Structure 1
Amino acid sequence: MFAGIPLGDLVFLAVSLVAAGALTGMLAGVFGVGGGAVIVPILYEVFRVIGVPEDVRMPLCIGTSLAIIIPTSIRSFNAHRAKGMVDLDILKIWAVPVVLGVIGGSFIARYAPADLFKIVFVVVAIFSAMRLLFASDRWRIADTMPGKAVMAIYGVIIGVLSALMGIGGGQLSSLFMTFYGRPIHQAIATSSGLGVLISIPGALGYIYAGWPKMDQLPPLSLGYVSLIGFILLIPTSIWLAPIGARMAHRLSKRRLEVAFGIFLLVVAARFLWSLVF
């Protein structure tokens, strides 16, 4: 994969991926997300340095992110469930619609321009951050969750957007649940379960989407999934996910909201910069 790449770039690649794995695992546990909002921008810079073409770089980052999220989200979900905060009834309602949305998003990814992935990232991240930082509990639709039909529609939307962003769906489902009066800690814990539902079909979908462009992708890629990225990020991300989950349950509601909001703004700023410049 790395023929012709200087030794310094190889060291940069390895160190960056291992560090990204550590940060991914921590944030997966703290925020109930799969870590894709961290993985994607880091992989984008790493793949830029090693010369991956621009038109396949973003989907390669997203597909690799979804593959990495598989073990991380499973470990994060188990840690939150052990705390008794996961609402399994909500996950059962969302299971089929979310998977259908992921399949649809993966199909779009096969034909979408690279900038579409960045635009989705920026819009969703900024909206979520504004709600967390400035509106607090005032942005509320109702005090109870809606019926199954509305839940199913939103599940499809979560699946499509998550597939286009390379995330486990945690920030989207957490936002939705807090709109309907669920406490942030329960929303985050329940949302961690979506990572499992989204990452597996999402990764398979991106393998399919990237298959026609294998000649543009670096060796050791399986469609839009980089196997070297998957291997290097997994160990530290799995190790730190339970530690992050324990931290989440020690933080106050407001601190958790502010921390998550700032994190999302940083991610949005990075991709907005790449769109403009």
Structure 2
Amino acid sequence: MISGFEPELFVYGLLLGLCAGALAGTLAGLAGVGGGLIYVPLFYACLPAEGGGMALYIFASLAAIVMTGFFSARAHWRLGHVDKRMLISLLPGLMIGAGLGLWSTLRLPEEAILLALAALDGWVARDYGRQIPAGPQHGPSPALISGPIGYISGALGIGGGTMLVPLLRRHAPLRFAVGTSAACGFVMAATAVLTNLLVESDWQALLSKHGSSLAGVWLGIALVLPFCSGWSARLHADMGEESLRILLKSVFILLACSLLIAALIARMHTPA
């Protein structure tokens, strides 16, 4: 329930959502990430959130990831890029971990979240810079660490692709790693958002207070996502493996640097 709907905040949120959805939808189709790597820093920089803090940005990001993940997963499913057996084995741990992770953001400092996001992006950029042949002999079983991945995803407001794609590409071709990650991110984010709304009253209070801008953001994202995610998924299918790997490495390096700067700014503004 939105308390005191404000049209100007709704319009502002709509414009922000259109920009965020275009960027996140493109990255989702190319890399299988849910968009949180775009949403969290963008919401942090642009959304007014007095009394909400980082928890509001994380929740808003995961709610947006439900939409991003749906359109991205649908596009990859139609292209045959989702490994159904791997998807089923990953979901239990991812859903439980993400629900707990989102709940914990009500108590985590914002600079810690931004630093963690920057570190993840740097690790993924390094991983994409390495040649890793597909095969079960590379890396741990994805199902065994799905719980921790889910927790980190929920706590940082991301769809899990940042960690899942590098892990899954050790067990399958990159196209299947990206497609399966997109499907996982959709189900995981939806479960985390719904369970937290049901069990934690603090989320309901935050949504009521900031509902005008959030409604605009989510609408803008929903309007632009179908085109952007579908286009980028087709581009993903047409690109060569090496070209795609280099492109994703460059994207994640840029994201890591941006988030590190945001974390340093947040630290400077934190009371001593």
Q: TM-score range by the shorter chain?
A: 0.7 to 0.9
1:93 offset after TM fit, Å? 0.4
The answer on 1:38 being equivalent to 2:38 is yes
TM-score for the superposition, normalised by structure 2: 0.84
CA distance in 2, matches of 1:232, 1:2: 20
The answer on 1:202 being equivalent to 2:222 is no
Which residue matches 1:244?
232
What per-residue deviation string (whole Å, max 9, x for no partner) do you get for residues 231-264 of structure 1?
Answer: 2222101332111111100111112112212212
Contact (CA 8 Å) 2:114, 2:259: kept in 1 or not? yes
| CA RMSD, Structure 1 to Structure 2 (Å) | 3.0
The structure 1 residue matched to 2:176, chosen from 186, 196, 199, is 186
My pick for the range that moved more, 24-33 or 207-216, is 207-216
**Residues 213, 178 of structure 1: alpha-carbon distance in 2 compared, 3 angstrom cutoff:** closer
* 2:96 partner SS: helix
The aligned length equals 263
Which residue matches 2:150?
159
CA distance in 1, matches of 2:211, 2:195: 14
Give the partner amino acid of 1:143.
G
What per-residue deviation string (whole Å, max 9, x for no partner) do you get for residues 53-91 of structure 1?
Answer: 3x7332212211111111221221121122222110000
Gaps of 5+ in 1: none
CA distance in 1, matches of 2:256, 2:199: 25
Which residue matches 1:16?
16
CA distance in 1, matches of 2:25, 2:56: 20
**Residues 214, 73 of structure 1: alpha-carbon distance in 2 compared, 3 angstrom cutoff:** closer
Contact (CA 8 Å) 1:32, 1:76: kept in 2 or not? yes
Contact (CA 8 Å) 2:22, 2:228: kept in 1 or not? yes
CA distance in 2, matches of 1:221, 1:11: 12
* 1:192 partner SS: helix
**Residues 216, 197 of structure 1: alpha-carbon distance in 2 compared, 3 angstrom cutoff:** closer
Question: Which stretches of structure 1, 4 residues or longer, exceed 6 Å deviation after superposition?
Answer: 213-218
My pick for the range that moved more, 212-221 or 124-133, is 212-221
**Residues 213, 113 of structure 1: alpha-carbon distance in 2 compared, 3 angstrom cutoff:** farther
Gaps of 5+ in 2: 266-272
1:104 offset after TM fit, Å? 1.9
Which residue matches 1:144?
136
Which residue matches 1:28?
28
CA distance in 2, matches of 1:205, 1:56: 19
Give the partner amino acid of 1:144.
P
TM-score for the superposition, normalised by structure 1: 0.82
CA distance in 2, matches of 1:208, 1:260: 36
Which residue matches 2:252?
264
Which residue matches 1:174?
165
**Residues 199, 214 of structure 1: alpha-carbon distance in 2 compared, 3 angstrom cutoff:** closer
My pick for the range that moved more, 244-253 or 19-28, is 19-28
**Residues 251, 144 of structure 1: alpha-carbon distance in 2 compared, 3 angstrom cutoff:** same
**Residues 152, 235 of structure 1: alpha-carbon distance in 2 compared, 3 angstrom cutoff:** same
CA distance in 1, matches of 2:95, 2:23: 27
